[in-house]
């Protein structure tokens, strides 16, 4: 958290971030191998802030229900959630920086050690970094999707954001009409920064110009009309992270 506050107060390094905007890291997902078999029920009964529901089913978008046998544990500092499996493998989510994710993972490993298991800290790896930022101008998503059709997926009736799958670096960007951007898929934060610098000129190219008429049902800017009559009144409120995974109890 300290390093984020420092970034905000320091002027942006324009050699590293020519756009003048630095994406804020929102979530880090990491994994580590505690390298020992664990008894989940005993952990759930002894540790604080733990949940263990072996009957729960993990539901994916394709609707295949898979058993979810893990203890879900949380700590307050760094504010994170851990999924701990009987095999000794652990996933740590929710941290705002790579160092915080590692520190949190170490704290969970120490909790497991204190419960009597010979936990190690093997192969710690950052698996995903999620960042977000705001370019502070509206974007013509339809135009962008048409021009970059090889990388874009824009189905406003399914989801209000444009899904841009950048090849180099391999990052997925969610681009919203409001100018808010979500970047996910990075293993190191420089990939997030590079992806944003790559997309920034494209966003500027498809900047939505001022509306000629008041905020009515028409949205006629220069060269762009919303093709879908049902969503002509889109507001600029959309900016959301969406998860495909949710838990279902049977």
Partner 1 sequence: MATFELYRRSTIGMCLTETLDEMVQNGTLSPELAIQVLVQFDKSMTEALETQVKSKVSIKGHLHTYRFCDNVWTFILQNALFKNEDSQETVGRVKIVACDSKLLTQ
Chain contacts with partner 1 (rule: CB under 8 A):
41, 44-45, 48-53
User: What letters, b where the CB count within 10 A reaches 16 and e where it falls short, cover 57-92?
Assistant: eebeeeeeeeebebbbbebeebebbbbbbeebbbbb
Residue 53 or 87: which CB sits closer to partner 1? 53
Residue 44 or 91: which CB sits closer to partner 1? 44
Nearest Cα neighbor of 211 from 197, 199, 226 is 226
Residue 50 or 86: which CB sits closer to partner 1? 50
Residue 71 or 171: which CB sits closer to partner 1? 71
Residue 52 or 176: which CB sits closer to partner 1? 52
Q: How many CB atoms lie under 10 A from the CB of residue 173?
A: 25
In this structure, are residues 228 and 157 in contact, taking their beta carbons and an 8 Å threshold? yes
Nearest Cα neighbor of 222 from 203, 209, 207 is 209
In this structure, are residues 139 and 207 in contact, taking their beta carbons and an 8 Å threshold? yes
CB of 95 to partner 1, least distance (A): 21
Q: How many CB atoms lie under 10 A from the CB of residue 176?
A: 22
Residue 85 or 218: which CB sits closer to partner 1? 85
The residues, any chain, with a CB within 8 Å of residue 77's CB and separated by 6 or more, are none
Nearest Cα neighbor of 85 from 48, 129, 35 is 35
CB of 72 to partner 1, least distance (A): 8
CB of 93 to partner 1, least distance (A): 18
The DSSP code for 20 is: S
CB of 44 to partner 1, least distance (A): 4
In this structure, are residues 202 and 173 in contact, taking their beta carbons and an 8 Å threshold? no
């Amino acid at each position: 958290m300290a390093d984020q506050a420092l970034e905000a107060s320091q002027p942006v390094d324009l050699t590293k971030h020519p756009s003048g905007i630095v994406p804020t890291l929102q979530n880090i997902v990491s994994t580590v191998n505690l390298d020992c078999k664990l008894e989940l029920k005993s952990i759930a009964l002894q540790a604080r802030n733990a949940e263990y529901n072996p009957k729960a089913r993990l539901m994916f978008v394709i609707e295949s229900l898979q058993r979810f046998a893990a203890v879900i544990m949380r700590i307050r500092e760094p504010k994170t959630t851990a999924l701990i499996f009987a095999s000794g493998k652990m996933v740590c989510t929710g941290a705002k920086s790579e160092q915080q994710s590692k520190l949190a993972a170490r704290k969970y490993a120490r909790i497991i050690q204190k419960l009597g298991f010979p936990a190690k800290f093997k192969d710690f790896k950052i698996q995903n970094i999620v960042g977000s930022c705001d370019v502070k101008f509206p974007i013509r998503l339809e135009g962008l999707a048409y021009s970059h059709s090889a990388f874009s997926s824009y189905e406003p009736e399914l989801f209000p954001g444009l899904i841009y799958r950048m090849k180099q670096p391999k990052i997925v960007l969610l681009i919203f009409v409001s100018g808010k951007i979500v970047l996910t898929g990075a293993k190191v934060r420089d990939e997030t920064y590079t992806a944003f610098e790559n997309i920034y000129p494209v966003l500027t190219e498809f900047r939505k110009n001022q509306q000629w008429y008041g905020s009515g049902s028409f949205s006629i800017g220069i060269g762009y009309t919303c093709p879908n009559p049902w969503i002509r009144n889109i507001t600029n409120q959309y900016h959301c992270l969406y998860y495909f995974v949710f838990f279902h109890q049977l």
